Chain A
Amino acid sequence: MKWWKKSAQVALSVAVLVLAGAAQAADKIVISNWDGYMPKDLLERFKADTGIEAELSVHATNEEIMGKVTAGGGKGYDVLFVSSPFAEALNKLGLAAPVDHSKIPNIKNLYPEAMQLQHDPGNTYSVPYTWGTTGICYRSDLVKTEPQSWNDLLAPPEDVKGKETMLSTDRWLMAAALLAMGKSVNATDPETLDAAKAKLIEAKRNLLAYDDTVFYQKLVSGEAVVTHAWDGWCNYGIAENGAIKYVIPKEGSDLWVDTMVITAASENKDAAHKFIDYVLGVDNGKWVVENIMYKTPNKAGMEAIDKSLFEKYPNMAITPAELLKYEQLRDLGEGQKAFSKTVTEILAAK
């Protein structure tokens, strides 16, 4: 064989490999999600069942993925897991693709209530993954009176002073004061923001700490007796100590919804739809409840779980109809500037 012939053959086979690689790359999607927020083997099973390769990229906060997506126009990502106000913002910025329900047969697994969410009625650009409330998680055996109102957190009784934590994530921190005042959790007018600020600076003096991650451990150890908490995270504490309880204060809660959004920049929207369809399957819905201990709008998944969980974790039994009574956190648009300035001032205050 002449040397050039051999070279040509090598070149040809390299070209074939490259083309094959390119074809394969087109069938690959990138998912960005919080760490541990979906089953570990989900992507493997998804590949085995559909032949589509999916890669997981992890973000720690909504803001982080929002920063990446706004900077790069969403290129390099196909499906994003974000909280609803961020989904709303992505949509306003034109970074979210319309959701084609005909490509997601499992969307029938959702509760009818989950198709009427305030931020996106009819789920046109986002599909809900988990939902729940924000309230007070406390040690019923270590408090003299059980908390019932946001004011029990903001102006605690003597025995709770210095033994309570609050969430410092901006929207939820503010929501505690806004709800206590009977205001909308999306208020951004200066008077309301100032009043909420005064309340929260006052509340800060009685805190053990701000804690958005391991507050339930502080309850278990007894270091804290009252904590500002998302219902699902309170369950991590309940799992370890039966005296830990969760209550939605009488003034109400927000309804938080974590959603899945397909990026407008996705080059493989069919595969992205298939992925969302896969996540909405019964088994994955069940996994979310049993492992993350959150409620899911996936009716089929909720119905598949062991019913004894509802007894052990009463907040799991909050019905969709009840959830929908609460106002959702919405994208604040221009109001965000004054809002985050207020939060910075609260966190900086002494």
Chain B
Amino acid sequence: MALKDRSLLLVLPGFLWLGLFMVLPCAIIFAMAFFERGVYGGIDYGIVTAENFRRAFDPLYLSILLDSARIAFAATVLSILIAYPAAYAISRAKPALQPALLLLVLLPFWSNYLIRTYAWMVLLNREGVINGFLRWLGAIDQPLPMLYNEFAVILGLVYNYCPFVVLAIYAALQRLDPSYAEASRDLGAGATTTFLRITLPLTLPGIAAGAVFVFVLSIGNFITPDLLGGGRLQMVGNLIYDQFLTARDWPFGATLSMILIAVMMALLFLQALATNRAHGGRSHV
């Protein structure tokens, strides 16, 4: 068997898996978007229509999509600002200590997402731990509104996805050859210049990978806005969830999903471009 044939055989299970469980379902969702809903859910195949797309671009839903993007973007920026120093510190720690520190980063994932989110509700609510403490200190008379608003949603997203960014940036920092920074210092650059001109640009792919991860997971999230946003603040994920599970309007839910997938694909494409450029344009995509 030629080498080429054999490699084809090796990728076949992967392709089959993706084809059956990713491409095919997406194609079904895409097709669904062009029909009308049935009265009791399901699809009315009798009517082919582009109405769902028109409806999705109604200012009401468009503003939810833009809000979701804005919230996801805020969560992404905050996650990077928190994660970069943490990842940098871990990568500079004693090698023997590093696995333990990384384990600490991953520790929250040992408990369930819902439980962690409910824990925030206990902390943030008006009669909650933080407000109680501040009142006890005499710092405030009226409780601070920290829950059921955008602040709480962004906080929840940053809290949940920040560890992924730490890992992505840590991996990029590990790959970085220390001799580059040493050369920079030898040639007279200060610590700040070295960081800004050597370390940061070379770890950009790690930042981009982490950023896309947080953004994509955040924009589609529906649990955090539901619990920490109190359902008053809807993100596009909630809208999709409701269409399938309560409104029984699958075609409209499918349309919104397609738009979300398109946004995510555009972002992943941009990330691939960024990675490519960081590697001096050598194509390895």
Kindly list chain B residues whose C-beta atoms are within 8 Å of the C-beta of A222.
126-127
- In the complex, what distance in Å separates the CA atom of A129 from the CA atom of B253? 33
Q: Does chain A have a CB within 8 A of B110?
A: no
Nearest A residue to B118, CB-CB: A214
* Contacting pair A63 B41 (CB below 8 A): yes
Least distance between A171 CB and chain B CB atoms (Å): 10
Q: Does chain B have a CB within 8 A of A336?
A: yes
Least distance between B191 CB and chain A CB atoms (Å): 46
Least distance between A5 CB and chain B CB atoms (Å): 44
Q: Known contacts being A71-B42, A89-B40, is A340 close to B248, with CB within 8 Å?
A: yes
Q: Known contacts being A70-B41, A337-B39, A349-B60, is A63 close to B230, with CB within 8 Å?
A: no
- In the complex, what distance in Å separates the CA atom of A71 from the CA atom of B132? 50
B-binding segment of A149-157, A203-211, A236-244: A203-211
Number of A-B contacts (CB under 8 A): 79
Nearest B residue to A71, CB-CB: B42
Q: Known contacts being A209-B230, A349-B60, A350-B63, is A67 close to B41, with CB within 8 Å?
A: yes
Kindly list chain A residues whose C-beta atoms are within 8 Å of the C-beta of B64.
348
Least distance between B152 CB and chain A CB atoms (Å): 10
- In the complex, what distance in Å separates the CA atom of A221 from the CA atom of B126? 9
Least distance between A219 CB and chain B CB atoms (Å): 11
* Contacting pair B231 A344 (CB below 8 A): no
> Among A61, A208, A211, A337, which residue has its beta carbon within 8 angstroms of that of B246?
A61
Kindly list chain A residues whose C-beta atoms are within 8 Å of the C-beta of B249.
337, 340-341, 344
Interface size on A, residues (CB 8 A): 36
- In the complex, what distance in Å separates the CA atom of A95 from the CA atom of B230? 36
Q: How large is the interface on B (under 10, 10 to 19, 20 to 34, 35 or more residues)?
A: 20 to 34
* Contacting pair B39 A170 (CB below 8 A): no
Kindly list chain B residues whose C-beta atoms are within 8 Å of the C-beta of A210.
230-232
Kindly list chain A residues whose C-beta atoms are within 8 Å of the C-beta of B239.
344, 348
Q: Does chain A have a CB within 8 A of B255?
A: no
Nearest B residue to A62, CB-CB: B246
Kindly list chain A residues whose C-beta atoms are within 8 Å of the C-beta of B148.
208-209
Q: Does chain A have a CB within 8 A of B234?
A: yes
* Contacting pair B232 A207 (CB below 8 A): yes
* Contacting pair B40 A64 (CB below 8 A): no
Q: Chain A interface (Cβ within 8 Å of chain B)? A: 61, 63-64, 66-67, 70-71, 89, 93, 162, 165, 168-170, 204, 207-211, 221-223, 333-334, 336-337, 340-341, 343-345, 347-350
User: What are 14 A-B interface contacts by the 8 Å CB criterion?
Assistant: A70-B41, A89-B40, A162-B145, A169-B246, A207-B230, A209-B230, A223-B125, A336-B39, A336-B40, A337-B37, A343-B246, A344-B243, A344-B249, A348-B64
